[in-house]
Amino acid sequence: MENIPTWIAVVAAAIAGQDRRWLMHQRPLGKQHGGLWEFPGGKVEASEIPGKALVRELEEELGINVATADLVPSCFAESPPQQGQPGIVILLYTVTSWDREPMALEGGNIGWFLPEEIARLEKPPLDVVLARQHFAKL
């Protein structure tokens, strides 16, 4: 019997910039949720723990170096399995310290937004939940 996961672990970063602005990534067109804005991050590989996965993803997507000690857990969002696809659990971490200037290395765009601007951005459903939870704490 094929081993099909019932859920996928995903990590994302709420990166705090200057003047209360936060970095968001616009997904490249042609990908699932293309054109929508999200917290940067990605899937946790089977051999990784979430913090190490997020450090790797931020290096790959944005070209920034983040120390695992600088990742602060914020909140999470989940979706159930649907139409034969596994559920997704996204763990959001707050990041306030990193090296190098963030750049969109895998396509799409990045931008710095105030929380109220992020609330109005078109986002994938789980990022809507994450943004609501994360910014309610501030």
pLDDT tens digits along 1-56: 456 678 999 999 999 998 999 999 999 988 889 999 999 999 999 999 999 999 99
Q: What would the pLDDT profile of 22-37 be if each residue is shown by its tens digit?
A: 999 999 988 889 999 9
pLDDT band at 84 (very low <50, low <70, confident <90, very high): confident
3 assigned to some structural domain: no
2 assigned to some structural domain: no
> What is the domain range of residue 31?
8-136
Residue type, 15: I
pLDDT at res. 3: 65
Q: What is the CATH number of the domain that holds 64?
A: 3.90.79.10
pLDDT at res. 52: 98
Q: Work out the number of other CB atoms within 10 angstroms of the CB of residue 85.
A: 12
* Cα–Cα distance, 35 to 5 (Å, whole number): 27
pLDDT at res. 110: 98
Do residues 78 and 87 make contact, with C-beta atoms less than 8 angstroms apart? yes
